[in-house]
A = this chain, B = another copy of it.
Amino acid sequence: MPVTIYDVAREAGVSMATVSRVVNGNPNVKPLTRKKVLAAIERLGYRPNAVARGLASKKTTTVGVIIPDISSLFFSELARGIEDIATMYKYNIILCNSDQRMEKELQLINTLLEKQVDGLLFMGAEIKEDHLQALTSTSVPTVLAATRDADNALPSVTIDHFQAGYDATQALIDRGHKRIAMITGPQSDPLSGLMRFEGYKKALIDAGIGLNEELVANGNFFYESGLTKTKEFLKLAEPPTAVFAANDEMAIGAIHAIQDSGLNVPADIEVIGHDNIRLVEMVRPRLTSVVQPMYDIGAVAMRLLTKYMNNENVEEHVVLLPHRIEYRESTRPEQA
């Protein structure tokens, strides 16, 4: 039923090899022949079968993308960066949600390899031994986006989360705060969870303030947890005068908890978030946040992957993208 390369060959009065050459842009075809072939293709509405091509050429121009949750404000932005660059290099994306469940992640890696993807882009929190094994047991190149394995065995694109946590905290210290609370992410998450917290801790210690356990709460990256944890902070005998949340959703929850208790942000308590998702512009006061360039991370990761897929030379396997703080109204102008 569907028209194949043979049909085109017959219609054009040439061999299928010639049709293949035309379709693939091989220059060794007489212009006149090329023209005849193209006409035949047009006439028959020929559409090359990418599966057959993939089998013959061992390339599918498809990359697998494993992402925790595409409906997340954070990851969907990343995915967009990935897809844009993929499109630019003529790749398509098979998108899979893992929900960060290891069993599912491993199974997805396997499924994607079965589908003969040319490359793999992996997002998630912790990279365990099992991941490494699954990912390195194949010759399919893999890049980690917004994650890193402890030994840098795999190429990755991230920001320096420790420094980001440090900088956010330092910004608050610079504003004269001594009681700076932090709502962390899950400590099982080595970068967004642990490293940001470590940065916070180090900044406090460097400033001679030191860590105060009662000002640290473990959140789960969701709005609700920012709200709840902050309410608890406010019940303290001496509540914090500033809050650093490990992501923006929780920071917004913090703002609302503060406002609900009748206090003002930033006059009474300053708040700073992390990631700079689009949401930060859509609250009052608008949220000061550490910019993690999600789109760029996705884009750079995908670009890096194309290099591996083309066997190009790569100088730096571990890419650290710059971060910075975007100041808005949830913090006061810096003290002189």
* Inter-chain contact B70/A79, CB cutoff 8 Å: yes
Chain B residues whose C-beta falls within 8 Å of the C-beta of A111 in the assembled complex: 92
Taking each of A62, A69, A92, which has the highest tally of chain B beta carbons within 10 Å of its own beta carbon? Answer: A92
Chain B residues whose C-beta falls within 8 Å of the C-beta of A95 in the assembled complex: 79, 83, 93-95
A281 lies within 8 A of chain B by Cβ:
yes
* Inter-chain contact A71/B60, CB cutoff 8 Å: no
Chain B residues whose C-beta falls within 8 Å of the C-beta of A94 in the assembled complex: 62, 92-95
* Residue of B55, B69, B137 touching A55 (CB-CB under 8 A): B55
* Inter-chain contact B284/A259, CB cutoff 8 Å: yes
Chain B residues whose C-beta falls within 8 Å of the C-beta of A52 in the assembled complex: 55
Q: What's the Cα separation between A110 and B92 when bound, in Å?
A: 13
A48 lies within 8 A of chain B by Cβ:
yes
On whether A77 and B71 interact (CB within 8 A), knowing A47-B110, A115-B62, the answer reads yes
- A residues 110-144 near B (Cβ < 8 Å) are 110-116, 137, 139
Copies in the complex: 2
* Residue of B47, B79, B83, B93 touching A114 (CB-CB under 8 A): B47
Chain B residues whose C-beta falls within 8 Å of the C-beta of A71 in the assembled complex: 76-77, 79-80, 295
A256 lies within 8 A of chain B by Cβ:
yes
Return the chain B residue nearest A95 by Cβ: B95
Chain B residues whose C-beta falls within 8 Å of the C-beta of A1 in the assembled complex: 139
A321 lies within 8 A of chain B by Cβ:
no
Taking the closest CB of chain B, its distance from the CB of A315, in whole angstroms, is: 28
Chain B residues whose C-beta falls within 8 Å of the C-beta of A49 in the assembled complex: 55, 114, 116
| Size of interface on A: residues with Cβ below 8 Å to B | 51
Taking the closest CB of chain B, its distance from the CB of A252, in whole angstroms, is: 6
Interface residues, chain A, with chain B CB atoms under 8 Å away: 1, 45, 47-52, 54-55, 60, 62, 69-73, 76-77, 79-80, 83-84, 87, 92-97, 110-116, 137, 139, 223, 249, 252-253, 256, 259, 279, 281-284, 295
Beyond A47-B113, A249-B282, A256-B284, 15 additional contacts (C-beta under 8 Å) are A49-B55, A51-B51, A51-B115, A62-B94, A62-B115, A70-B76, A70-B83, A71-B76, A71-B295, A73-B76, A92-B115, A93-B95, A223-B281, A259-B284, A279-B279
A and B contact pairs by CB, cutoff 8 A, 22 listed:
A48-B114, A50-B115, A51-B54, A51-B55, A55-B55, A69-B80, A70-B70, A70-B76, A71-B295, A72-B76, A76-B76, A80-B97, A83-B96, A92-B94, A92-B111, A92-B115, A93-B94, A94-B95, A249-B282, A253-B282, A256-B282, A259-B284
